[in-house]
């Protein structure tokens, strides 16, 4: 059997994209002030980030098959490092936007590349066992990033955050260089991307999965986008964001652990998805009544719990019909839902109303999830 990838390294790589995004969210008010832009304009750095991330998913997914897994991951990390360094040195907001998009394009390799490595070396029950700690890491990483980012912003401002990201990238590059083996099989069949995409965009179940993933991510990342400004309006410092991030981390961890326990007890994944969508809606309704109080953080915790409960069950079955082309199909699915997420965050940044975003997204997710697993075979 070929060398197994180092599991702590794999977990670090798969957490990296979410941590480096949310670690930056608490700095948004300072960025708006430092570059003299509005809150909605500053929020563009988050929404456009996911558009570039979607493109990166496709490019790095294909590169894993053509260049190999290890060189692709190294190259993606290098691109991210260049973007983070450019963001640190950015003298204007437009330069910062471009730098953030370069960063997003590069860091997408942490998602698609790492999943490909895992599927190369683990199969069946062993893959499920490996994905257990990985799933928990994915669930807690956004909230963990926010907690750390809030503390760093208070200590060293937004430029300190960008400097730390450059250092973190260098550390990961060294670790990957030393410990990540090449896992690409000797013979890789490269399924045509366009042909796969054309099949998938006519598949109802793909659109159902993509919309659910996008709406749940929108609920979570709209919180990271808007909560820093909301706390600032209420007169709270970055220390409140640290506490908020810790609470959201606990919510995510709780959701992930409850998900594992209920699945082990025989609960249907579709039922858990419905429950998570309902919880998203409840969090929006509760938040609408707490907007003028710091207690609005509590429905945010419920949002992170619902996210960790639902997302693994959506993704687990999303590509069952594409087992012969998982890498390419994963890239297509990622492209769809990250583009939807980016568009949603543009709207969220313009609206600047977290409770409204959560409520509408929760309603949409609940309706889509209620439609059930329609027969595959096309929507057009």
The CATH number that applies at residue 151 is 1.20.1250.20
pTM for the full model?
A: 0.81
Q: For residue 178, is it within any domain?
A: yes
Q: For residue 375, is it within any domain?
A: no
List per-block mean pLDDT (blocks of 10 residues) for the chain, which spans 380 residues: 75 91 83 86 80 91 86 97 95 92 95 82 65 72 82 85 92 95 76 88 94 94 88 82 84 89 88 96 96 92 93 82 76 90 89 94 96 50
If you write DSSP's letter for every residue of 19-71 in order, what string do you get? HHHHTTGGGHHHHHHHTT--HHHHTHHHHHHHHHHHHHHHHHHHHHHHT-HHH
User: Please, how many CA atoms are within 13 Å of residue 365, restricted to the half-sphere of its CB?
Assistant: 34
pLDDT at residue 99, rounded to an integer = 95
pLDDT at residue 12, rounded to an integer = 93
Domain count, the chain: 1
Listed as own residue / partner, the contacts of 57-60 with beta carbons closer than 8 Å and 24 or more positions apart are 57/108, 57/111, 57/112, 57/330, 57/331, 57/334, 57/335, 57/338, 58/193, 58/331, 58/332, 58/334, 58/335, 59/105, 59/108, 60/108, 60/109, 60/112, 60/113
Q: For residue 378, is it within any domain?
A: no
Q: For residue 203, is it within any domain?
A: yes
pLDDT at residue 325, rounded to an integer = 73
pLDDT at residue 28, rounded to an integer = 82
Q: For residue 326, is it within any domain?
A: yes
Q: For residue 365, is it within any domain?
A: yes
Q: For residue 223, is it within any domain?
A: yes
Calpha distance 322→19 (Å, rounded): 29
Calpha distance 155→57 (Å, rounded): 33
Residue 302 domain boundaries: 7-370
Q: Are 357 and 214 in contact (CB under 8 A)?
A: no
pLDDT at residue 244, rounded to an integer = 85
pLDDT at residue 378, rounded to an integer = 42
pLDDT at residue 117, rounded to an integer = 85
pLDDT at residue 241, rounded to an integer = 76
Q: For residue 380, is it within any domain?
A: no
Calpha distance 293→181 (Å, rounded): 50
């Amino acid at each position: 059997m070929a060398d197994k990838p180092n599991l702590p390294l794999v977990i670090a790589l798969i957490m990296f994209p979410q941590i480096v995004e949310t670690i930056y969210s608490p700095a948004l008010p300072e960025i708006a002030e430092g570059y003299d832009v509005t809150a909605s304009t500053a929020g563009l750095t988050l929404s456009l980030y996911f558009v570039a991330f979607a493109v990166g998913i496709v490019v790095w997914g294909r590169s894993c098959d053509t260049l190999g897994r290890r060189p692709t991951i190294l190259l993606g990390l290098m691109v991210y490092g260049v973007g983070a360094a450019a963001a640190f040195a950015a003298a204007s907001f437009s330069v910062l936007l471009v730098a953030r998009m370069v960063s997003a394009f590069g860091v997408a390799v942490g998602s698609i590349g790492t999943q490909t490595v895992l599927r190369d070396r683990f199969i069946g029950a062993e893959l499920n066992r490996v994905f257990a700690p990985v799933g928990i890491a994915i669930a807690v990483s956004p909230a963990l990033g926010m907690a750390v980012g809030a503390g760093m912003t208070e200590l060293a401002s937004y430029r300190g955050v960008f400097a730390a990201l450059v250092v973190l990238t260098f550390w990961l590059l060294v670790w990957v260089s030393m410990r990540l083996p090449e896992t690409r099989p000797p013979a890789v069949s490269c399924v045509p991307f366009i042909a796969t995409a054309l099949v998938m965009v006519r598949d109802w179940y793909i659109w159902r999965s993509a919309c659910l993933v996008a709406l749940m991510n929108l609920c979570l990342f709209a919180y990271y986008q808007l909560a820093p400004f909301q706390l600032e309006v209420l007169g709270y410092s970055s220390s409140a964001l640290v506490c908020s991030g810790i609470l959201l981390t606990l919510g995510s961890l709780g959701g992930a652990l409850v998900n594992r326990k209920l699945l082990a007890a025989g609960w249907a994944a579709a039922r858990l998805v419905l429950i998570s969508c309902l919880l998203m809606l409840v969090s929006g309704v509760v938040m609408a009544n707490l907007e003028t109080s710091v207690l609005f953080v509590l429905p945010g915790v419920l949002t992170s719990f619902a996210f960790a409960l639902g997302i693994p069950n959506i993704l687990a079955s999303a590509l069952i019909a594409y087992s012969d082309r998982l890498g390419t199909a994963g890239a297509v699915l990622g492209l769809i839902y990250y583009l939807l997420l980016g568009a949603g965050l543009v709207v969220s940044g313009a609206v600047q109303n977290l409770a409204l975003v959560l409520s509408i997204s929760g309603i949409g997710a609940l309706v889509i999830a209620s439609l059930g697993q329609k027969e595959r075979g096309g929507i057009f």
